[in-house]
Amino acid sequence: MSREYDLESLIARVAEGDRKAFSAFYSATSAKVFGLLIRIFGDRQPAEEALPEVYFRAWHGAGKYAALGLTPMTWILTITRNLAVEQVRAQRGEGLRDASLSQAALEGNSPGPEVHNVETCLTQLDADRAEAIRIAYLDGFTYELLADRYEVPLNTVRTWLRQSMLSLREYMAR
């Protein structure tokens, strides 16, 4: 966990405009960030284009980091995910219903050794429900898209996902 400590102190220095600290923070996090961008966009080119914007937001948001109560990796990955999902959703357009899923979402991901047991806990949910949570996070699916995908009314899909997430929360708390 000393690594997290290191990243935290780097973020604190970035908040003060320390470029060397920023450079170190970039080196420590950019492979994970870039991997997630490629995963969400499904392509390298838009990932490369979005990368500067992620770190631009990090540079300017570092001052507010401490108040958020997040770990450094969760913080930078949240910035990354939200930026990429904003763009993916904008490209899909509101009326578009044929958002395609990347293969990775359909197959699921192999759980990493650390971080959380979220993947393990997802396996305790029905496959559909686990997939819905995964694609809501990693593919930015809205309730409209989820309703279409599972062919259920909007309100039903919302109830369904909320219950799934509460179950997930319970499993993860065990």
Residue by residue, DSSP assigns 8-73 as: HHHHHHHHTT-HHHHHHHHHHHHHHHHHHHHHHHSSHHHHHHHHHHHHHHHHHHGGGHHHHT--HH
48-87 positions binding another protein, by CB under 8 A: 48, 51-53, 55-57, 59, 68-71, 73-74, 77-78, 81-82, 85, 87
Q: Which region, judged by CB under 8 A, interacts with another protein, from 1-9, 93-101, 154-162?
A: 154-162
Interacting residues toward another protein by CB under 8 A: 19-20, 22-23, 26, 30-36, 38-39, 48, 51-53, 55-57, 59, 68-71, 73-74, 77-78, 81-82, 85, 87, 104, 108-119, 134, 136-138, 140, 142-143, 155, 158-159, 161-163, 165-166, 168-169, 172
